[in-house]
Structure 1
Amino acid sequence: MNNTIENIKNHRSIRQYLDKDISDEIIDEIIKAAQAMPNSINGQQTTVIAIRDKSKKEKLAELVGNQEYVAKAPVFLVFVMDFYRTYLAGEKTGSKQIIHEDIESALVGAVDSGITLGAAIIAAESLGLGTVPIGGIRKNPEEVIELLDLPKYTFPLVGLAIGYPSDESHTKPRIPFESFRHNDTYNKEAIENSIDSYDEEMEAYLKDIGRYDKEKNWSTLTSSVYQNIYYPKVKDAMKKQGFTPAK
């Protein structure tokens, strides 16, 4: 396979970084790669905020759940679902925007931001940088919105810490490929048959990296998380930003 595919398959989350700056030219190239990705109706409803300010990174590290590597990373990107831009287009043309009143806005925004996030990760890692996505940007969304001065019809969806790796972490095993790729229809049997074997693989991996006592295996970790609403402040914060799909 080519180098791009090998780089993607070699992905691992990097949380420890060298004390080495990243030039604006490199960050621009990463964000331009993200911007080049496809998006719904060419609405371009994603904005990326690059954060270098030390105090702001330290505050974000606290808000996302005391994840110190957010503060230590030279650059932290925040991917924002942005229907403010399209709202302004509607104001210009006299066509009232109502997409933010439907769940479709959240789906469009999440898909488009996810595509741009993936491109940014691939671009950064192709340049020898390490990354780790931070879903915790949604843990305290109102404070993040205030800190970043986000207008109505926008919402911070995910962050990305970027830096030169100080060490190489392990590559985390993925679910068996035959339960990931399905042909023509959804294969429930493949899913059901894969869980035990994947739990066993994850147990070995977690023991190897010293996290078995905390996580046990895939089933234990995911079920412990998803028995609750992961980030319960999101719903009310989205309403305050003008997203009202349940009204």
Structure 2
Amino acid sequence: MGLGGVSVGGLRNQPSQVVALLDLPQHVAPLFDMYLHHPNQQPSLRPRLPQALVAHENQYKKSPDDALLAQYDAQVRRYYQERTGGNKETSWSEQIADTLKKESRPHIRSFLESQGFIQK
């Protein structure tokens, strides 16, 4: 089909407004929006987290494969260096750590309560 796509979670910044705009009923919550398009160029594919780090069989693996994670971090770092002409030099682990340091969407709990997902 030749489609490209990107998912965006930004609508969770103002979920009540999205609910009103789309006239969503109770027990429905917008999680992300997806944009599909026919790209006018073929960008390089972004490296994906190896399945061995995210797929678990019969039991959860408590500690990740450090060597595999380091290999993926190096791959992501190279991807960003190439894609940005050296302006971005970061690994996946660094990006996740930075994201988790920040408080994100403190209003979500009260929104989910208002949509009937969480009982007070």
Which band: TM-score by shorter chain?
0.7 to 0.9
Deviations 1:95-153 (A, max 9, x none): xxxxxxxxxxxxxxxxxxxxxxxxxxxxxxxx332221122221211111121122222
CA distance in 2, matches of 1:235, 1:167: 40
Are 1:227 and 2:101 an aligned pair? yes
Are 1:192 and 2:81 an aligned pair? no
Deviations 1:172-198 (A, max 9, x none): 112334334445443445533322221
Alignment of 1:1-247 (within 5 A): 127-188=1-62, 190-210=64-84, 213-214=87-88, 216-245=90-119, 247=120
> Per the alignment, do residues 212 and 224 of structure 1 end up closer, same or farther by CA in structure 2, a change over 3 Å counting?
farther
Higher mean Cα deviation, 173-182 or 129-138?
173-182
CA distance in 1, matches of 2:53, 2:21: 41
Normalising by structure 2, report the TM-score: 0.80
Normalising by structure 1, report the TM-score: 0.43
How many residues matched? 120
3-state SS of the aligned residue for 1:156? Answer: coil
* 8 Å contact kept, 2:13–2:105: yes
> Per the alignment, do residues 169 and 228 of structure 1 end up closer, same or farther by CA in structure 2, a change over 3 Å counting?
same
Aligned Cα root-mean-square deviation (Å): 2.3
**Aligned-pair identity (%):** 29
Larger helix percent: 1
CA distance in 2, matches of 1:152, 1:189: 39
CA distance in 2, matches of 1:151, 1:194: 44
Structure 1 unaligned residues grouped into runs of 5+: 1-126
3-state SS of the aligned residue for 2:5? Answer: strand
3-state SS of the aligned residue for 1:154? Answer: coil
